[in-house]
Amino acid sequence: MKEQPEKSPPPLSVEELARRLNCPFEGDGAREIRGVSSLEKAKEGDLVFLSHRKYLSLLERSKASAAIIPSKERYDRIPVIKSENPYISFIKAVEIFYKPYCPKPGIHPSALVSPSAKIGKDVTIGPFAFIGDEAEIGAKTVIFPFVAIYPWVKIGKETVIHSHVSIREEVKIGNRVIIHNGTVIGSDGFGYLQDKDHPHIKIPQVGTITIQDDVEVGANTAIDRAALGETIIKKGTKIDNLVQIGHNVEVGPHSILAGQVGISGSTKIGKNVIMG
């Protein structure tokens, strides 16, 4: 398995960039754009964006070669690409110029993959990763070095698991999920029975976790498996670094949990919730 070489993104003309963004442009369409930047830090060859006219003074002083501006705004000092939502168009431009690092598909010789594991097409498994018995890894998923995937885990397509993540037995993870470094999915819930003769009796945590499609989980986060049943993170939810989610929690779709949020066991959170 060979890593992709690093290289600078090729320049694009303003006209070509506008075409890819499906937006009209005004000014010199032949001007080359080599990257993106903020208004304050931009240099020649950079693209910036203007979200509101209150930032026009920053754009006026900027050294950028082109800007994405609101459709109704007028500006002629440099070429402009006009958008109904400049921020979204700028995000798309960032994705055009900069691709995230990803090693080429293949299984590194040092990875330990169970013979009974099912590995999909074009999967990447990095050095010293472990894939347990009867685990299933969907097509085009990327497993970075030192990831531990326990037996009977199911992971969907085009998911990215970064280094030092541990995914415990029987966890189910959907498609296009991103899990950042050091996170633990499926650790035992914190459950103990208090008894006068036998203090702190551990309650077996025999449930599991389901993480649905398009979820992103930050670094060093812990999501506990259910005592019985399942802990559920529903589609599109984004979880920051250093978040603790207890056993049997249900997080509704498209919610956001900011860093250091802690959710006690059996809590139910609705859709589109933002917690910080």
In the chain, what's the furthest Cα-to-Cα distance? 82
Name the 3-class secondary structure at 115. coil
**Whether residue 247 lies in the annotated active site:** yes
Taking a C-beta distance cutoff of 8 angstroms, is the pair 1, 108 a contact?
yes
Out of 108, 162, 180, 247, which one is annotated catalytic? 247
Alpha helix (H) ranges present in the chain?
A: 14-21, 56-61, 86-97
Beta-carbon count within 10 A of 98 CB: 12
Tell me the residue length of the chain.
276
According to DSSP, the β-strands at 32-33 and 12-13 are antiparallel
Buried b (16+ CB within 10 A) or exposed e, 197-213: eeeeeeeebebbbbbbb
Known catalytic residues are: 247
